[in-house]
Structure 1
Amino acid sequence: MMAILYPRLLAGQAKPLHEEYRNLTINELTRRAASNHDSAVYVATGGDRVPETKLLELRRLLVDLAKESGFPNESNRELRAAFDLNIAATLHAEMGLVPAEAASGDVWAFIALVLLPDVAYWRYPVPPGDRVLGTDLTRHVFGRLWWRAQLVHSSDDPDPYAALKILGEAAFDQIYARRKALGNSPHLVKAILRLWNELDLREIDEREALRDLLKRLLRLTPFVLFESLSDQSLDAELRTAARETVTALLSTPTLTSHERQARIDAVFAGCSDGITDKASRSAPIPLDDNSLVRP
């Protein structure tokens, strides 16, 4: 199948539009929305240019989803979160992008500034440039959502995008910010999501736990080729790293050894096999409350 090529709005044209659009109303931006732009270009590689009818249909789909979350009126955090989840799945399912195209900020600048300026500036009123220009895909109003869907998409699942609901935006940003080592591997990201879905983190700062886990995985990257591991082996590696993370985070003098171990076991109670239980049995139990040292 040939790649679908999307129009690109280069920085020289995108920046002036952003400066103009940030001062316009949503209704004015709706009137500016278009499926083409005189300055748009296409990459000079093999592929079929996206038909204008497909761009118009994409706009219709995304505007309809935005309306479900209050567009063009003010929204709230819950509606915006639902909007992001729906947009992520729709962009990934409908655009037909290959990762090489999706990695281009100029593609996303066209989507935000030409095709959907009203939706983009409604989602982020008076946004900084990186929300619409494509200079940082971890922050782009649409680009970041496509990549979230790309990293979790599972074609074998009845709901291919179900894992989008496991981690919030801030957590995904932590993973994607480390994309050169971790975030470019859907295999690894899906394993992290499987693990996170099993853990009971109610007694732990989830954001701090994820940050610590990712640091441990980064230290493993010179020695472990995650892509080569089977799902079972990769899950075992991640559970081991997660147990180290949880142990470190619970290494406080306010807990006795038995209390600490009970809380660690509670975090992993929902794991689907006995790997972590086995690791727990083989791990030495500290003799006093201060004997565990944070890695």
Structure 2
Amino acid sequence: MKYKVVLTACVGMMLMASTGYAAVQYHSLTNKDGKIVYETKSTKDYVKTESKDEADRFKAFFELKEKVLKNGEAGLFYMVANNPNHQTDLGTKLTVFQNPSQLREKITDKSIKIADNINGNYTFQKADVIFKNAQEVNPPSSEEKKKMEEKLRKQAEESNKGYAMMSVEMTDQFSLLNVTYQNGEDKIGVMINNLSGKSDPTSYIDEKVEFKQEKVQVKGVEMLHTEFGPSQWHELKWVYESPDKKVKYAYTIQGDLNKVSKETLMKLVEGYLE
């Protein structure tokens, strides 16, 4: 993909400098009760103020956690520089699976569909999974959090490394699952985003991005079909919600528009709706 994806606290924010289409239209998906379960909005609606210190600290933190953590690990970091409020940053590194059976064993929610192949043509190549760590699943109290911050701050200042890190236990709950399937030179991506418990499942797309979005239906399920201009990348997105509304996943199947047509994507989706 030739557009930049920046993960936010919601689902994502897609940005790219482009001429843009004449008319930009954003859509949403609703459940059977008429409640919005997923929507796209302009980045103009995304309100977040970030100081230069915060931006510089997060950039350094991201680079450090990618270097220090091994795949499938998590850590709580204290960065000395650009940290006037003495905050910690919680980071997780993805886990890579080369075998679909091993991935299925790891995913505890068996309603998640992880196929060996799609439509008999596209074969599982690999999966990148971000699992939730223990502090995400069971956040520490404000008192516990303060103690950890003070402990890490002291370690960081005394070590002269510029940072300190505390390992955090991982759980078997996933946050994001991204599987690549391949048929010759053609590739299909299947992304499953865990929206359970999130009150604002929103994807923000800059109005300068060249894209077209429309609602379609596959086997009676409402979906969003989005095409991204110069990249010639397109996707179908839908939401699975359990009957008790406690579990919610956003499924996205995506591919190269020049190699995989909209009709082919819709056909591939059918296997996930059975």
TM-score range, shorter chain: under 0.3
Structure with the largest fraction of helix:
1
Answer 1 or 2: higher relative contact order, Cα 8 Å, separation at least 6. Answer: 2
Instruction: Give me the TM-score of the superposition, normalised by structure 1.
Output: 0.21
Structure with the largest fraction of strand:
2
Instruction: Give me the TM-score of the superposition, normalised by structure 2.
Output: 0.22
